[in-house]
């Protein structure tokens, strides 16, 4: 057969063994190209992150959201401790927040209680020192919350407990290699419990724990918290990608002199969230509370 009448004029005729080696090499090459295309062009199968990595992602998202959240809200706040049982309507403004009591001890406020509550509101609006104190307390709580969030990935050993309905439940226990740097973190690091995570947004939904050992400070002089105390924090998406703490339950037996803004026996539930008007001032927020407009806006009082 000549080159002219060969059905494959450009194909090199090789001995059988050589052709087989070339065929094998070509198959290997095509297989490699296929794998490369599959890896680079086809959708990758979702990989479940490790429990530790998921916690790191959640912590990053929560801290980022906290630092970039400038929305102000109006809401109902029910706060109960051994020394108080009050339901407030709260209105946040750019320079602070004001509140009005609508229930005290399970009843409507008396005229005397209303007068005292109104005076407190007016002091926040008119007294720069009160506003400065409010800002200082808020900054302290934010700083402490961020510090405790940052210790979550390394301060505990995390394991998956299960997934369902777009949520993951993780169990945690103290990491014996972690050295808590502060008093608050010493208490936190003695906890074991679970975290529930929204998997789509990687946001914290529930964090609950139990004090698995007693914690002493200064040989018990500065404070001692007894084994068995519990805490539970619930976060709710109140608007698209907007999450707020809607439940806080702390029940710890003991005393700690250094906790200035956290009660060791407290149940707080917030609800009826609605955005406050943009650019609202404290004076305008107080007016919305005294006129009843805030209560109507969040649905606690019928429109007139």
Highest mean pLDDT (candidates 22-36, 137-151, 238-252) = 238-252
Q: How far is CA 116 from CA 101, 110, 284, 285, in A?
A: 10, 10, 20, 18
pLDDT at site 186: 85
Whether the pLDDT of residue 48 is over 80: the answer is no
Which among 166, 258, 247, 157 is positioned nearest to 203, based on CA atoms? Answer: 166
pLDDT of residue 291: 96
Percent of residues, the chain, with pLDDT higher than 70: 79
SS3 of residue 74 by DSSP: strand
Going from the C-alpha of 156 to that of each of 55, 108, 184, 231, 235, the distances in angstroms are: 10, 45, 15, 16, 21
- Using one digit for the tens of pLDDT, what is the confidence trace for 115-164? 999 999 999 999 999 989 988 988 888 888 888 899 999 999 999 999 99
Question: How large is the average pLDDT for residues 169-198?
Answer: 92
pLDDT band of residue 188 (cuts 50, 70, 90) is confident
In sequence order, what E strands does 51-128 have? 73-81, 84-93, 96-104
pLDDT tens track for 280-291:
999 999 999 999
- Region 242-248: mean pLDDT is 95
The whole-number pLDDT of residue 38 equals 36
Question: Side-chain half-sphere of 235: how many Cα atoms within 13 Å?
Answer: 17
Q: CA end-to-end span of the chain, whole Å?
A: 103
What pLDDT digit, counting tens, does each position of 70-106 carry? 899 999 999 999 999 999 999 999 889 999 999 999 9
Cα 116 to Cα 284: distance, rounded to the nearest angstrom: 20
Q: Quote the tokens at residue 229.
A: 């105390």
Q: Where are the domains of the chain?
A: 1-45, 51-297
Please list, in sequence order, all residues whose beta carbon lies within 8 angstroms of the beta carbon of residue 244, skipping any fewer than 6 positions away.
Answer: 73, 75, 235, 236, 238, 270, 273
pTM of the full structure: 0.78
Q: What is each CA distance from 143 to 136, 183, 243, 255, 265, in whole angstroms?
A: 10, 14, 18, 22, 21
């Amino acid at each position: 057969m000549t080159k002219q009448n060969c059905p494959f004029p450009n194909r090199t005729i090789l001995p059988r063994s050589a052709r087989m080696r070339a065929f094998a090499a070509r198959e290997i090459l095509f297989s490699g190209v296929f794998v490369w295309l599959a890896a680079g062009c086809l959708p990758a199968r979702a990989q479940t992150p490790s429990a530790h990595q998921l916690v790191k992602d959640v912590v990053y998202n929560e801290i980022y959201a906290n630092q970039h959240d400038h929305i102000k809200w109006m809401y109902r706040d029910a706060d109960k401790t051994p020394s108080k049982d009050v339901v407030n309507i709260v209105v946040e403004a750019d320079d602070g927040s004001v509140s009005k009591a609508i229930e005290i001890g399970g009843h409507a406020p008396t005229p005397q209680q209303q007068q005292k509550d109104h005076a407190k509101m007016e002091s926040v609006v008119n007294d720069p020192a009160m506003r400065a104190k409010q800002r200082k307390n808020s900054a302290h709580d934010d700083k402490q919350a961020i510090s405790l969030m940052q210790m979550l990935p390394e301060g505990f050993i995390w394991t998956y407990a299960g997934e369902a309905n777009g949520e993951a439940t993780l169990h945690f226990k103290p990491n014996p290699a972690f050295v808590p740097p502060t008093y608050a973190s010493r208490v936190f690091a003695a906890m074991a419990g679970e975290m529930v995570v929204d998997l789509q947004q990687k946001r914290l939904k529930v964090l609950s724990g139990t004090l698995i050992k007693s914690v002493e400070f200064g040989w018990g002089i500065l404070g001692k918290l007894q084994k068995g105390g519990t805490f539970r924090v619930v976060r709710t998406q109140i608007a698209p990608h907007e999450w707020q703490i809607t439940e806080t339950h702390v029940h710890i037996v003991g005393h700690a002199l250094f906790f200035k803004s956290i009660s060791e026996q407290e149940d707080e539930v917030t609800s009826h969230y609605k955005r406050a008007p943009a650019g609202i001032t404290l004076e305008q927020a107080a007016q919305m509370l005294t006129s009843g407009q805030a209560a109507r806006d969040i649905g606690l009082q019928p429109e007139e």
